[in-house]
Amino acid sequence: MASAWCWSCLSRLRPTPRAILPPPAVTPRITSAPFHSTAVQYANPTKKKSSLVATKYRQGQVLKRKKKAKTERARPPAVGERKALRKRIVLSNPNALEVEGMKDLSPETMVDSRLRGSVVGLPVPMLERLRAVQAFKPKQGWSIFRRPGTVLRRDTIEMGRLFEKISGDGDAPEKGKVIKKIITGMKGSGKTVHLLQAMTMGFLKNWVVITVPDARDLVSGDTAYSPVEGSKPTQYVQPNAVSALLTRTVEANRQVLSTLKVSQKHPGLSGLKPTSTLEDLAKLGFQDAAIAWTVFQALWTELNATAAAPGMENNFEARPPMLVAVDGLAHWMTETAYRDADFKPVHAHDLIFVQHFLSLLKSGQSLKNGGMLLYATSTSNNPSNYSLEVGLNQLAARQAGIAPTSEEYPQPEAYSNPNARVLDLFKPATGKESALELQTLGGLARDETRGFLEYFAHSGLLRESVNEEWVGEKWTLSGGGIIGELEKLGRHVRTAAQPVAQPVAAAN
Amino acid sequence: MVFILGVNFPERNLLKKSLETFFGVGNNTSSRLLARFNIHPTCRVGELANKQVLDLTAVLSDMKIENDLRREVLNDIKRLKETGTYRGRRHALGLPVRGQRTRTQIKTPVRLNRMERRL
């Protein structure tokens, strides 16, 4: 430590600095009233705010703006994350009550007319396969119930019977027949769910189920296309879409496809052995999109084979019937977002994938081993299409017994310029072809409505006593039992003021 | 990254938008180019096959785009000035060329019309 003495002049250095005292308070203290009981105010007198900053002589005033502090922006979502969220399908709601005594859709229940109007659950092992064929759509209300279930309506049971007949369980004369249907109906009438039920039945009956969950995907110009060499007029193949179709088909039908062996020779496919299963065959296509169309054609011939090629008989097993389900048919009747080399729009019928599925409607026995073609229109995502409208009207007229030569038979209006190829699809069948049918889904019947609304009550969504009068009211409100509207009513009607004991009353 | 006409494009980018980054290629030209090579409108740069990249580059290099096009436009304006036309004069003065009013709203010509036109 330094000494306090300066050794050169022997004078005393300044002593250690004094303790720092607080600066004398600037505040004028109230000294005049020593006996005042209020506390002395230490606060500084407030300065007057000067609005202008004091400037020097002849210096201009500068407007000073505060810079905005940079806020940390959240990172944009990863690629595909938003789409995944948009397309997410939730099939279960743990908060909903489990409905006791709900039966599963099975080969027995799907034809049981005593169950008409009740909601049957989709079998749990089937859900993964239904997801694989994209049978569920994001905006359907599966997420409000404990488990997915559908109403057995009249159309469903009729369809169930068809499945049974075509499968030939009871040696019916319809065994191996092909049913071709176009399904229409109002918005919310259950067309897509009808297809879903068909797919479930197909799986239950061990059919091969091939689906196109959204017909628009093929025409919206979002998937690659290339012209087919030597085709005239030029046709286009969509390798990635075909590859996706093969992926769907294999994932959903693995059980069936893995048991069937290749029975024909496919010179275009080198990676195929005589002992390969159809699953192996289809897998070739989704590993390499370039040969996907060849693979699909090979798979199609295999599935439609009625006998093996000579020399390959020992592995042959009879092929099961097929279900082909397409949703959003109207998109396939217009021009697409694709352009040909001369920049003219490509018509959907020039896409070879689309043409393949549409030609099934026309040609005679299009599925050699029998099966069902269900092509549904959509009303929520629907291009307006005059030609299709006329075609469907003609189909409906024929079904109602009006002869095509009759005056009442609907014809396109003059100068409306309908597409001839589209109208061609709906021409009356000739010879032994199974005719194309039009199935219009309407509303549920009243008893079916009651069953459906009771399902809401049993699931704890609806706190109302479901009685005849109330059901009648909702049936009318829903435009005569349109099931989409009923669902809205079922999930919105919540009467908080009512006593809680109501769900029990719903059971009667 | 994919090279098209000497420019490097990230694979995630839309091909149509990438083509439109070239001076002289707009919506119409790029759509027609895609149609000519059977490329779908929402194709990404990374999805192109090698041959398609080469084809596109070949066609683009034959087209009058980028600097060639800029030079042409500048030459056209220069010609107007040299022949002493009204349009040439307006270009040089930084005023609207096609008869617009000059009382207000002439920011764009003031900005762009110079002795050497900005592009």
* pLDDT for residue A354 is more than 90: yes
Q: Note whether A423 and A395 are within 8 A (CB).
A: no
Q: Note whether A86 and A164 are within 8 A (CB).
A: no
Question: Residue B77 corresponds to which tokens in the numbers above?
Answer: 């304006």
**CB contact set of A52 (below 8 Å; sequence gap of 6+):** A61
pLDDT of residue A33: 55
Chain B neighbors of A236, CB-CB under 8 A = 38
Mean pLDDT over A293-308 rounds to 90
Q: How far apart are CA B51 and CA B53, in angstroms?
A: 5
Residue A430: count other Cβ atoms within 10 Å of its Cβ: 8
Lowest-pLDDT range of A126-140, A262-276, B15-29, B62-76:
A262-276
A124 torsion bin: left (phi>0), alpha (psi -120 to 50), beta (else): alpha
Alpha helix positions (H), A221-350: 239-257, 278-287, 292-303
Domain B2-63: which topology?
A: Helicase, Ruva Protein; domain 3 (1.10.8)
Residue to mutate among B40, B43, B59, with most A CBs inside 10 A, is B40
| CA A40, chain centre distance (Å) | 75
**CB contact set of A388 (below 8 Å; sequence gap of 6+):** A329, A330, A333, A377, A422
* pLDDT for residue A271 is more than 50: yes
pLDDT of residue A506: 43
* pLDDT for residue A483 is more than 90: yes
**Which helix (H) or strand (E) element contains residue B3?**
strand B2-4
pLDDT of residue B14: 94
Which of A79, A223, A225 lies nearest to residue B38, judging by beta carbons? A225
pLDDT of residue A486: 92
A340 and B12 within 8 Å at the Cβ level: the answer is no
Question: Residue A38 corresponds to which tokens in the numbers above?
Answer: 């209020």
Give the start-to-end residue ranges of the domains of chain B. Answer: 2-63, 67-112
Closest CA to A423 of A384, A381, A394: A394
pLDDT of residue A73: 82
Q: Any idea what DSSP says for residue A332?
A: G
The fraction of chain A above a pLDDT of 70, given in percent, is: 83
Question: Which of the following CATH numbers is that of domain B67-112: 1.10.10.10, 3.40.50.720, 4.10.910.10, 1.10.3720.10?
Answer: 4.10.910.10
| Pairwise pLDDT comparison (A417 vs A71), residue with the higher score | A417
pLDDT of residue A265: 86
Cis preceding linkage at A17, omega within 30: no
Strands (E), A47-177: 119-121, 149-151
| Pairwise pLDDT comparison (A486 vs A5), residue with the higher score | A486
Q: Note whether A313 and A264 are within 8 A (CB).
A: no
- Under the banding of pLDDT at 50, 70 and 90, the label for residue A267 is confident
- 3-state DSSP percent of chain B in helix, strand and coil, to 5: 50, 5, 40
Residue to mutate among A339, A344, A350, with most B CBs inside 10 A, is A339
* Residues recorded for chain A: 508
**CB contact set of A104 (below 8 Å; sequence gap of 6+):** A120, A121, A122, A123, A124
* pLDDT for residue A16 is more than 90: no
* pLDDT for residue B110 is more than 60: yes
**Which helix (H) or strand (E) element contains residue A218?**
helix A216-219
* pLDDT for residue B33 is more than 80: yes
Q: Note whether A366 and A373 are within 8 A (CB).
A: yes
* Mean predicted lDDT score pLDDT of chain A: 84
Q: How far apart are CA A352 and CA A297, in angstroms?
A: 11
pLDDT of residue A54: 56
Chain B neighbors of A224, CB-CB under 8 A = 39-40, 43, 47
Amino acid at A348: A
pLDDT of residue A42: 61
Residue given tokens 């004398």 in the structure block? A24
- Under the banding of pLDDT at 50, 70 and 90, the label for residue A59 is low
Q: Note whether A345 and A335 are within 8 A (CB).
A: yes
Tell me the pTM. Answer: 0.81
Closest CA to A363 of A305, A301, A425: A425
Exposure of A399 by Cβ count < 10 A (0-12 exposed, 13-18 middle, 19+ buried)?
middle
**CB contact set of B6 (below 8 Å; sequence gap of 6+):** none
Mean pLDDT over A265-284 rounds to 85
Which of A79, A226, A340 lies nearest to residue B35, judging by beta carbons? A340
Residue to mutate among A335, A338, A344, A346, with most B CBs inside 10 A, is A338
- Residue pLDDT, tens place only, A210-264: 999 999 999 999 999 999 988 888 999 999 999 999 999 999 999 999 999 888 8
Residue to mutate among B13, B28, B38, with most A CBs inside 10 A, is B38
pLDDT of residue A27: 52
Mean pLDDT over A44-59 rounds to 60
**CB contact set of A105 (below 8 Å; sequence gap of 6+):** A120, A121, A122, A123, A150, A152, A197, A200, A201, A204
Q: Tell me whether A379 touches chain B (CB under 8 Å).
A: no
Q: Give the per-residue SS3 of A437-453.
A: EEEEECCCCHHHHHHHH
Q: How many CA atoms lie within 13 A of A22 on its CB side?
A: 3
- Residue pLDDT, tens place only, A372-407: 999 999 998 889 999 999 999 999 999 999 998 999
B40 and A222 within 8 Å at the Cβ level: the answer is yes
pLDDT of residue A505: 44
Q: Tell me whether A227 touches chain B (CB under 8 Å).
A: yes
Closest CA to B48 of B11, B19, B22: B11
Mean pLDDT over A457-482 rounds to 90
Chain A neighbors of B34, CB-CB under 8 A = 339
pLDDT of residue A387: 94
- Under the banding of pLDDT at 50, 70 and 90, the label for residue A37 is low
Q: How far apart are CA A210 and CA A282, in angstroms?
A: 12
Query: From chain B, which residues contact A within 8 Å (Cβ)?
Result: 12, 31-32, 34-36, 38-43, 47
* Mean predicted lDDT score pLDDT of chain B: 91
Q: Which of A37-41, A342-346, B90-94 has the highest mean pLDDT?
A: A342-346
| Distance in Å, alpha carbon of A239 to nearest chain B alpha carbon | 12
Residue given tokens 């990254």 in the structure block? B1
Report strand pairing: B2-4 vs B7-9. antiparallel
Angle between helices B27-36 and B50-62 (to 10 degrees): 130
- Under the banding of pLDDT at 50, 70 and 90, the label for residue A508 is very low
Q: How many CA atoms lie within 13 A of A395 on its CB side?
A: 25
A343 and B41 within 8 Å at the Cβ level: the answer is no
Q: How far apart are CA A37 and CA A355, in angstroms?
A: 100
Q: Note whether A331 and A215 are within 8 A (CB).
A: yes
* pLDDT for residue B76 is more than 60: yes
The fraction of chain A above a pLDDT of 90, given in percent, is: 55
Chain B neighbors of A78, CB-CB under 8 A = none
Chain A neighbors of B40, CB-CB under 8 A = 221-225, 337-338
Paired residues of A185 in beta bridges: A441
A·B CB contacts under 8 A: 31
pLDDT of residue A481: 92
| Distance in Å, alpha carbon of B80 to nearest chain A alpha carbon | 36
Decide whether B2-63 matches B67-112 in CATH topology: no
Amino acid at A181: K
pLDDT of residue A326: 95
